[in-house]
């Protein structure tokens, strides 16, 4: 195990877009794609990963402080952006970890540059349609109260819920902007790309798909069906966690991912 490192930010001009990228730690590179909850460079989950790997975390367009240009309006656009970013960073056969919508981005990347990814870990991923066309695979998060959504996101909502009254105006604005961007990218068709399920058969990298046992958005059936679309994939459940196991069980999640990547 190498020493941990604080992530620092740099910007790269990719496709004429100033792309903010955080990196830190030592070891083989690990490309980490955050979910709709964004991330903090000092998150416990990231700190644990950076003790073993050089963690590289781009800030998705339209999330956090990152600009959303008018030409990015779907997840595939971000996948192409990140393939170009990895080329700029001169990274080949890199391990990729994606959480929620970040998992969707990572899955898209695995179908577009077949030799780019060494191993792929997807945590509570969305992005494919597996069930009947007249039923949502993922509950409509835009049509429910925050209280109900928290019940689907967390194993223990009471300990994880954030009180908006304690947040700054800047934090509240970022939260609203993240949700607006998420809606733009995932609304139609809802939380999936109709073509991705067919393209995944061409992916070459071994994949691990994970979910929290109390995840109310990504069911065990959905995850198993998603994994079945890859030529080489398996699933794993993280106990005492919901849709955000990197928040509720960072040690268990980091340990499971590192074990998969390093064996």
Q: What is the DSSP string of 113-146?
A: STTTEEEEEEES--B---S-TTS-SS--GGGS-H
Please check whether residue 2 lies inside any domain of the structure: no
Q: Which has more confidence, 190 or 171?
A: 190
Structural domain of 34: 8-261
Inform me whether the pLDDT recorded for 161 exceeds 90.
Answer: no
198 found inside a domain: yes
* Band of residue 3 on the pLDDT scale cut at 50, 70, 90: very low
Q: What percent of the chain has pLDDT over 70?
A: 98
User: Among candidates 34, 70, 49, 42, which has minimal Cα distance to 184?
Assistant: 70
pLDDT higher than threshold 50 for residue 2: no
Q: How far is CA 33 from the centre of its chain?
A: 5
Residue 1 resides in a domain? no
CATH number at residue 255: 3.40.50.1820
Give the whole-angstrom CA distance, residue 106 versus residue 108: 5
Looking at the structure of the chain, the number of domains it has is 1
What is the number of residues in the chain? 263
Quote the pLDDT of residue 205: 97
Q: Write out pLDDT tens, residues 35-60.
A: 998 888 889 999 999 999 999 999 99
Q: What is the pLDDT of residues 21-40, one digit of tens each?
A: 999 999 999 999 999 988 88
Where are the alpha helices (H) located in the chain, listed in sequence order?
44-50, 75-88, 101-112, 146-153, 157-160, 169-186, 196-199, 220-227, 245-248, 250-261
Each residue's pLDDT tens digit, 72-108: 999 999 999 999 999 999 999 999 999 999 999 999 9
**Is 3 inside any structural domain?**
no
Assess if residue 114 is contained within a domain.
Answer: yes
Whether 121 contacts 98, CB under 8 Å: yes
**Mean pLDDT of all residues in 125-147:** 95
């Amino acid at each position: 195990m190498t020493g941990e490192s604080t992530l620092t930010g740099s910007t790269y001009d990719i496709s004429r877009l100033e792309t903010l990228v955080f990196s830190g730690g030592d070891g083989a590179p690990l490309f980490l794609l955050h979910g709709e909850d964004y991330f903090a460079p000092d998150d416990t989950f990231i700190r644990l990963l950076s003790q073993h790997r050089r963690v590289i975390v781009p800030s998705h367009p339209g999330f956090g402080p990152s600009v959303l240009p008018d030409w990015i309006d779907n997840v595939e656009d971000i996948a192409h952006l990140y393939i170009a970013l990895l080329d700029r960073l001169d990274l080949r056969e890199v391990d990729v970890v994606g959480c929620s919508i970040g998992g969707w981005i990572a899955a898209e990347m695995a179908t577009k540059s077949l030799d780019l990814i060494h191993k792929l870990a997807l945590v509570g991923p969305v992005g494919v349609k597996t069930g009947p066309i007249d039923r949502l695979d993922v509950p409509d998060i835009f049509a429910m109260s925050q209280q109900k959504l928290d019940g689907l996101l967390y194993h223990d909502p009471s300990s994880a819920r954030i009180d908006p009254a304690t947040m700054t105006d800047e934090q509240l604005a970022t939260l609203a902007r993240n949700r607006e961007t998420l809606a733009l990218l995932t609304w139609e068709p809802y939380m999936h790309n109709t073509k991705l399920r067919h393209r995944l058969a061409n992916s070459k990298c071994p994949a691990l798909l994970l979910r929290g046992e109390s995840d109310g958005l990504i069911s065990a059936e959905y995850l198993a069906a998603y994994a079945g679309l890859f030529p080489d994939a398996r699933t794993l459940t993280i106990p005492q966690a919901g849709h955000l196991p990197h928040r509720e069980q960072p040690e268990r999640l980091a340990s499971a991912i590192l074990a998969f990547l390093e064996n």
